[in-house]
Each structure stands twice: as structure tokens, then as C-alpha cells.
Amino acid sequence: MTAVPGTRAMAAFAARLSYADLPDAVVAKAGALLTDFVGAAVGGARTPEVAVITDLVRARGGRPAATVIGAGFSAPAPDAAYCNGAAADVFEHQDGYRFGGFHPSHTLPALLAVAEETGADLRDLLTAAVVAYEVSDRIGRAAHPRATQAGWFPFAATFGAAAGCAKLLGLGEDGIADAIGAAAFFAPAVLIESIFAGPSAKPAFAGQLARAGVEGAQHAAAGLTGWREVVEHPRGLVAVLGGEPVTDTTDDLGAEWTILDVHQKRFAGCRHTHGAAQAAVELAVEHDLDPAAITDVDVEIYDIALLLVDRPVGTDPSTVACTLSLPYVVGAAVADRDVGGAQYSQDRRTDPAVLRVADLVRLRPAADLEAKYPEYTATRVTITTADGTEHTRTVDVPAGDSRAPLTRDQLLAKFDGYVGSAFGERIAKQTADLLLAPPEATPVRAVTVPLATRP
């Protein structure tokens, strides 16, 4: 078969895909990922960092085309995508793709905004989400891990968002290719260290990835052309940032569904902290560990995690810094036996019991665990107590991985923890029901409008 350049192949796939084409497993997974995203956005909307971002957007004004979740106003679609993207990112409780080292759900705020603006229904949104994930994942894995090792955060979500938004805007193959190419003019080149340093502006990068996808699609819809070789050209963005150009995706688009490999998160925090979080929670529960009696926490881990999340937090850390710190996550996991949005509140971030354990955590590389990556994000934790007892647990596959998926009850409990606590049980149930089994012709506004007010 003749190779079809990556951008063109992705555009052709996006243009022809319909809801009826989607396997049942893909429909179910896309619904679960949309549910997860909305929950994370509601939770994050209530944080001080995101309040600053949304207040800046509110002050600028503009046509109220799409809902800013939990903020009490609507905004132009690019601005709504920006705000909702930042909100869904702040707790690091969104999904991820281990073969690409990024969060495909960074596409979803763009799709949600454009779907609302165009009057699309939930099945249209779900189909566009599958397009966005399949495009993003292929670009992401072409760049991973070399882009991260070179110092860049993977940028793939912008291009998937552009493809999905272009589909929602009714563009054909040429228009979708232009949208993907045009998005390159808006995509942020984000330094990985700038994220993991933990500044409070960090969630803005996720919002900007989404905004760039909307802008690329809207500019293509307005008749401007994009560079249709952006992902496959030897001087294109994928190659320049260290990856392998995406030169041939003809054979597997629509046959391999990468969305099924996307993981969801049991714990809030960077995915590279999750093996340690799970091990720490399990050991704390199993042995009824008293945080005050712990004298040492040894964490063995793979190289990328050592590079990214070996981040001590000090005595007065920010929400963002804590979500990206394996020592903090382990401290919260031992003290609270859970790591969710609640573990990033001011009182938990400054709790001496949490910070004392966090300060004991030491990370080191392990050759056997590195050999398993990225197939496994394996972590080994050994906790020593004052009487000299050592407790060790190795986690190869953290909960939420496609090989250890969250159960429906776990997904709904996580969702209700954010949406139910903000808007009440009735709206939480109604929203989850719509997203997990979208009724035919139900408008996207049936989800967004009930979540529009400030909780």
C-alpha cells in the first residue's frame, strides 16, 4: 500500500469517521474519559489558581459562546477552552497516554467549547473526541520519550483538538488537514522543566493547548490554509522537537484504537507518582502505619519519573508544586490513605504530619524498573518504622491503567467527589448518565448549562 503522509491520513480518517463506526468498547471508553474530564474541570474550577485565570478572561469580555465551567459566565469558544483546560489540569487528575507521555484529555475543553457553540449533540462530541484522541496519540508516541528528554512537554493534544474541532465545524478532509497545520501557529512550545518546577501559572499551559486547537480549526473554517506537512516533514514540529516524523498512519487508523490504552487516574497528581501513591496507601492500610512512627521512605523508580517528580516541596508549597512532587504525594498517601483533590487544600499542603513523611522520601533509579518502561510505570516503595521494621510493595500497573481499569463505581465515586460536592447529587447523576450513555440528539448544552454557575 502506498504510504499516505501523516497529516493527510489523519484528516481523511477524521472526515470519514461517524458515531456508527465506533466499536462499543470505544464508545464506552470515550464516555468514561469525557466523564472524567468534566469531573476534573469542576474540581479544578474551585481552586485559587484557576480563579485568577477565569477572572482575567471574564474581564476581557467577548461573545458568550461557550460555558466556563463553575465560573458563572460564558466566553468565546477559544477562551472557554482555555479556562476549562486549566481547570481540568490543576489537580493532575486527568487521563494520560503512557506511550506518548501526555494527557489526551487536553483536547476535550476545545471540543466541548466548539460543540456548544455549534449546537452539536453529545454523540457528535463523543465522535470528535475519538478523532482527537486517535490523532493526538499517534503524534504523541512519535515524539515520546525524546521530546521529554530534550526538555519539551509533548504538544500532541493541540493537533488532535484541531482535528476534532474541525470535524465539529463540518470541515472535510482538506479543511481538517488545514486545521491541523494551522494549529502549529498557535501551539505553545512548553518547557518540561517550567511545568515541573511547579509555578502557579502552570495550568495555563493546558488551557493554551486547548485554545490553540480551537484557533487552528476556526482559522481553517474561515478559509485560511495550514501547513499540511506539520507532523511528517523532516523539519516539522515532531522532528524538530526530537521525535520520529509521522509519515504513514494509513494502515492502523480505524483499526487500532489507541483510546483504549489511555489510562484514568485513581489518584490526583502526576501519573509518575501513582505507583508510589498506590504502594504507600496499600502499605499504610495493611499495616496501620502511624506517620509519626515512620523513619525512612525509599522509592525505587524508572528514569523519566526520577527526572520529573523528584521534587521536594518545602514548608509552604503550592497546589501545583504538590501535584508534581512524588515526595508530597507519598506523604499525603500515608497520612490520609488517599490522594484526591482534598489532599491539595491549604490545610493538607501545610500539615506537619504530611510534610514530615514527604521530607523522608528518597528516590533512586532501579534498573529492573527502568527496563519495564513504558510498558509498565513500575515503582517499589519501602517504608521503615521506628522499630526497624521494613514494609515493601511493588506496583507494576497503577490502578486506572487500561490493564487495571477503574470500575464504574470508582469512576462515579471520583466524579461525584467533584461534581456532587459542587452541584449536588442530582446534577452529578444526571451529568454522568448523559456522558456515559449519550442519548441520540441530546445537545451538549444539556451537560454544560447545569455546570455553569459558581458552586
At 311-335, the pLDDT tens digits run: 999 888 999 999 999 999 999 999 9
Q: Is residue 1 part of a domain?
A: no
Does 181 share its domain with 316?
no
**What CATH number is given to the structural domain containing 137?**
1.10.4100.10
Residue 93 CA neighbour count, 13 Å, CB half: 31
Does 231 share its domain with 338?
no
Does 360 share its domain with 316?
yes
Q: Is residue 411 part of a domain?
A: no
Please give the grid coordinates belonging to residue 72.
Answer: 458563572
pLDDT band at 435 (very low <50, low <70, confident <90, very high): very high
Does 109 share its domain with 245?
yes
Does 157 share its domain with 206?
yes
Does 200 share its domain with 307?
no
Strands 390-395 and 361-365: unpaired
Sign of the CA dihedral running 191, 195, 196, 200: positive
Q: Is residue 405 part of a domain?
A: no
Helices 24-45 + 425-436 axis angle, to 10: 150
Q: Is residue 317 part of a domain?
A: yes
Does 191 share its domain with 277?
no
51-86 pLDDT tens trace: 999 999 999 999 999 999 999 999 999 999 999 999
Does 96 share its domain with 215?
yes
The average pLDDT across 17-38 equals 97
Q: Is residue 245 part of a domain?
A: yes
19-29 pLDDT tens trace: 999 999 999 99
Can you tell me the distance from the alpha carbon of 39 to that of 447, in angstroms, rounded to the nearest whole number?
A: 12
Q: Is residue 260 part of a domain?
A: yes
Type of residue found at 214: V
Q: Which residues on adjacent β-strands are paired with residue 67?
A: 74
Q: Residue 173: how many CB atoms within 10 A of its CB? A: 17
Q: Does the structure show a pLDDT above 80 at 249? A: no
Does 45 share its domain with 12?
yes
Domain residues for the domain of 320 are 271-395
Does 348 share its domain with 323?
yes
384-418 pLDDT tens trace: 999 999 999 999 999 999 899 999 999 999 999 99
**What CATH number is given to the structural domain containing 282?**
3.30.1330.120
**Total structural domains in the chain?**
2
Residue 1 has what pLDDT? 40
Residue 4 has what pLDDT? 63
Question: Based on the number of CB atoms within 10 Å of its own CB, is 84 exposed (0-12), middle (13-18) or buried (19 or more)?
Answer: buried
Does 254 share its domain with 275?
no
pLDDT band at 2 (very low <50, low <70, confident <90, very high): very low
349-364 pLDDT tens trace: 999 999 999 999 999 9
Contact 78, 113 (CB under 8 A): yes
Q: Is residue 325 part of a domain?
A: yes
Type of residue found at 275: G
Does 259 share its domain with 277?
no
Q: Is residue 410 part of a domain?
A: no
Q: What is the DSSP string of 289-306?
A: --GGGEEEEEEEE-HHHH
